Amino acid sequence: MNYEDLTTADIALLDRCQGSAYTTLQGVYHTFLLAQTIIQRKIPGVFVECGVANGANAGAMAFALFKHGDRREFYLIDSFQGIPLAGPRDDAQPGIGPFIADVNLPLEERLRSSGMSVASADSVRSNMARWGLSSIDFHYVEGWFQHTLPKIIIPEIAMLRLDGDLYESTMCCLEHLYPYVSPGGCVLIDDYGLAGCRAAVHEYLERTSCPEQDIRVEVDYGASYWFKT
């Protein structure tokens, strides 16, 4: 994406939420530009973010909706308890480094907070209000992905942003949500630089006969994205 496409007004809006981001300033700008591209291309469907943290990148996507007067719904899906414990396909505990629990424990025993990236749903709501985004039609889905995603129905997705860090979290989101991404819709993987997340992306695309997807890596901060064919 070309950061020169950002206007002075865009930057002023995005700078409101950048202080709450776990990604770089370029990451926030990149998220906004991709969301704006989807809106300008009139791709049908809702926006979805899995892994919300403080809401900074959701805020960037919401700013794009606000700027263009787009009234589509926006789903914010998170445990709101932080990143869970790593599993056998991960090579570290995100944000910590060394594993803090046995990676071979059953999944249900590892669905507890590592203490990293903890932000409550109420704190995200407060941030959205502080950033002037209360008019956006947010739907908050609270709980571990493995518990909530099988129960929700989102028939059409225009933009899917995944920030789940771990192999199992990323795979769960792809399995339950990727089939509903519209043709031309954008999938943005924030944690592509993490070995477990990257493995989940490629394994899922290979398994579903979609390896031809043109995965692009944003060199400034290591995220990947593609537009679904």
Q: How far apart are CA 150 and CA 129, in angstroms?
A: 30
Q: What is the pLDDT of residues 82-92, one digit of tens each?
A: 999 999 999 99
Residue 71: how many other CB atoms lie within 10 Å: 9
Q: What is the pLDDT of residues 3-40, one digit of tens each?
A: 788 999 899 889 888 777 677 888 899 999 999 999 99
What percentage of the chain has pLDDT greater than the value 90?
84
Q: What is the mean pLDDT of the chain?
A: 94
Domains along the chain with CATH numbers: 3-227 (3.40.50.150)
Q: How far apart are CA 185 and CA 41, in angstroms?
A: 9
Those residues whose C-beta lies under 8 Å from the C-beta of residue 83, and which sit 6 or more positions away, are: 93, 94, 95, 113, 114, 116, 117, 164, 165, 166
Amino acid identity, residue 100?
I
Residue 148: how many other CB atoms lie within 10 Å: 17
Q: How far apart are CA 108 and CA 144, in angstroms?
A: 10
Provide the pLDDT confidence category of residue 112 given band limits of 50, 70 and 90.
Answer: very high
What DSSP letter does each residue of 84-102 carry, written as one string? B---TT-SSBTTTBS-SS-
Question: Is the pLDDT reported for residue 212 higher than 70?
Answer: no
Amino acid identity, residue 91?
D
